[in-house]
Amino acid sequence: MGATHSSSEEVRELEGKTGFSSDQIEQLHRRFKHLSGDQPTIRKENFNNIPDLELNPIRSKIVRAFFDNRNLRKGLSGLADEINFEDFLTIMSYFRPIDTTMDEERVQLCRKEKLRFLFHMYDSDSDGRITLEEYRNVVEELLSGNPHIEKESARSIADGAMMEAASVCMGRMEPDQVYEGITFDDFLKIWQGIDIETKMHVRFLNMETIALCH
């Protein structure tokens, strides 16, 4: 990504696709090269070199998310063996804070994308549903990175969230319907009014973005 004509066009195209500035793209490109060992692609084992991720309770889910075809917008299921720089930027764009200067429609769209990314992390079999227990774990794991919340509190908040999710899901069911788990629509409804930014910042943005961007 030098200063050639084609690469500056490339950068402009990436800016349009991902919302990152050219400076951020340069910074992330340096990070990508460091992670890949100067190779054109990154494989799962390359993520073993990130010290902050070693201590992360959802490390394997985060790493897997980088190779999930659904997040890469390359299919409805399955995992890629390796990702290139544009794929890397696509995934990193999910971690980007929502730009509050955007119109309401764009803000909602970004929020939905973040939630879809989060949903995919826990819907590992790509069947479009997560169980209440898995959802409970989502909440507890996201809270576990917050130094201001005790483990016990995180557990009870997670239990409460699971009960709330159950009532949202059950409330939308027909009387003869069998409960099969939380769909993405249920997930959106459950997270309505919750500030996804602060929740995802907890473990998800602050630590990971610092670990991956610098």
Report helix, strand or coil for 122: helix
- What CATH number does the domain containing 38 carry? 1.10.238.10
Give me the mean pLDDT over the 19-42 stretch.
Answer: 90
**For the segment 113-154, what is each residue's pLDDT rounded down to a tens digit?**
888 998 998 888 888 998 888 888 878 877 776 677 788 888
184/164: higher pLDDT:
184
Residue 72: which of 116, 105, 110, 38 has the closest Cα? Answer: 116
Q: What's the number of CA atoms in the CB half-sphere (13 Å) around residue 110?
A: 21
198 in a structural domain? yes
Give me the mean pLDDT over the 50-66 stretch.
Answer: 76
**For the segment 63-73, what is each residue's pLDDT rounded down to a tens digit?**
899 999 999 99
User: Would the pTM of this model clear 0.85, i.e. be above it?
Assistant: no
Q: Give the count of domains, the chain.
A: 1
H-run or E-run covering 121: helix 104-122
The predicted pLDDT at position 52 comes to 66
The domain of 168 spans 13-206
The predicted pLDDT at position 193 comes to 66
214 in a structural domain? no
**For the segment 81-114, what is each residue's pLDDT rounded down to a tens digit?**
999 999 999 998 887 777 778 788 888 888 888 8
Please give the backbone phi and psi of residue 166, each rounded to the nearest 5 degrees, phi first: -60, -45
